[in-house]
């Protein structure tokens, strides 16, 4: 059935050769019978549409044009350690405090207009690293430089101008939207914080334009988060991240809670926005197939450390680390 074909095609695999993923709509069209009933049939010209979408992904993600002047972000020997245990309960039980090394000596670089995929098992420190780079959690030591300038410490007033340039899209769009705010209010709020727009009417125009840019109607401005589907809410979160015109966005498991058809739509949206705006992404995920589709470079993380780092084609085609090979071998593959 063409619907099943669509579901299978919109799921990225290691062999995917599409720059933009197919969606279910590329395979289906609704036809009306003489008696007025409707049915789903395979879309006319489907093969031509798929040929149009197909574009080989470069084997070497670190492509032409990369130079030191293209460097957006560099991280050196970054550490985020937490103390666990101890306290009153620990004293009563006689347990000594322990140090959890969530991020332990990480170094990486990120080039402008490109995507760095960060992969690893649950609990390896991916999300903590992403939030540490944005100064959303306190770092223990290390250096984070943005276009050659050291990021001010968390809580420093000097950090505010950088907040405008760096944004994050969270995993759960419903939890990251205030249920008491309309979509218009949610998108205007970051503009007010950063002084964007000379008037409320100008900000409303910007919000309407943002919604249309992410594939939603401006008629939805006065609705609340619970009135949208999960995919629509994530589009709203993307629009909110774009509201302050950032250069760099951390995508923290931003498609992991979606079904494959909606996931393909959001991944396509992120790629289109990157091409249009020149955005740089840190794409965090445990799904290696999705990361291969989205990323130019890959960093494999294990127990707070970077196990392997390099161009996407190299990591997937010739992994040097035994841990990376184990992750790749563990990915389920559909065979038909």
Q: How confident is the model at residue 63 (pLDDT cuts 50, 70, 90)?
A: very low
- How far separated are the first and last CA of the chain, in Å rounded? 14
- pLDDT category at 303 given cuts 50, 70, 90 is very high
Domains of the chain: 1-56 (no CATH), 113-135+155-329 (3.40.50.300)
Summarised one tens digit per residue, pLDDT across range 119-165 is 999 999 999 999 999 999 999 999 999 999 999 998 889 999 999 99
Q: What are the counts of helices (DSSP H) followed by strands (DSSP E) for the chain?
A: 12, 12
Mean pLDDT, range 63-77, rounded to an integer = 73
φ, ψ dihedrals at 206, nearest 5°: -65, -40
pLDDT for 95 = 65
Residue 89 has a pLDDT of 60
Query: What gap in Å lies between CA 259 and CA 224, rounded to an integer?
Result: 22
HSE at residue 256, side-chain half, CA atoms within 13 A, is: 17
pLDDT mean over 48-77 = 64
Q: What is the pLDDT of residues 36-45, one digit of tens each?
A: 777 767 776 6
Q: With a threshold of 0.75, does the pTM exceed it?
A: yes
């Amino acid at each position: 059935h063409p619907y099943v074909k669509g579901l299978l095609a919109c799921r990225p695999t290691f062999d995917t050769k599409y720059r933009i993923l197919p969606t279910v709509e590329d395979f289906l069209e609704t036809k009306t019978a003489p008696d007025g009933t409707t049915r789903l049939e395979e879309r006319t010209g489907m093969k031509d549409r798929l040929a149009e979408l197909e574009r080989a992904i470069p084997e070497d993600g670190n492509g032409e044009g990369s130079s030191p002047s293209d460097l957006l972000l560099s991280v050196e020997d970054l550490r985020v350690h937490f103390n666990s245990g101890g306290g009153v309960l620990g004293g009563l039980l006689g347990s000594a405090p322990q140090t959890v090394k969530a991020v332990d000596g990480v170094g990486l670089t990120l080039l402008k207009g490109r995507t760095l995929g960060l992969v690893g098992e649950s609990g390896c420190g991916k999300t903590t690293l992403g939030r540490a780079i944005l100064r959303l959690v306190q770092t223990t030591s290390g250096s984070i430089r943005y276009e050659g300038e050291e990021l001010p410490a968390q809580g420093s007033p000097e950090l505010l101008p950088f907040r405008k340039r760096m944004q994050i899209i969270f995993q759960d769009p419903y939890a990251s939207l205030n249920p008491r705010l309309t979509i218009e209010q949610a998108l205007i709020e970051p503009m007010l914080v950063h002084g964007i727009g000379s008037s409320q009417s100008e900000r409303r125009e910007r919000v309407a334009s943002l919604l249309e840019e992410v594939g939603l109607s401006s008629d939805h401005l006065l609705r609340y988060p619970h009135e949208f589907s999960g995919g629509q809410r994530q589009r709203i979160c993307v629009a909110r991240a774009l509201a302050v015109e950032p250069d760099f966005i951390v995508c923290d498991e931003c498609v992991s809670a979606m079904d494959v058809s909606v996931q393909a739509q959001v991944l396509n949206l992120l790629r289109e926005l990157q091409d249009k705006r020149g955005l740089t992404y840190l794409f965090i995920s445990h799904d290696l197939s999705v990361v291969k589709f989205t990323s130019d470079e890959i960093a494999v993380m294990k127990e707070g450390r970077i196990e392997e780092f390099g161009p996407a084609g190299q990591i997937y085609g010739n992994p040097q680390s035994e841990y990376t090979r184990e992750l790749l071998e563990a990915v389920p593959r559909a065979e038909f």
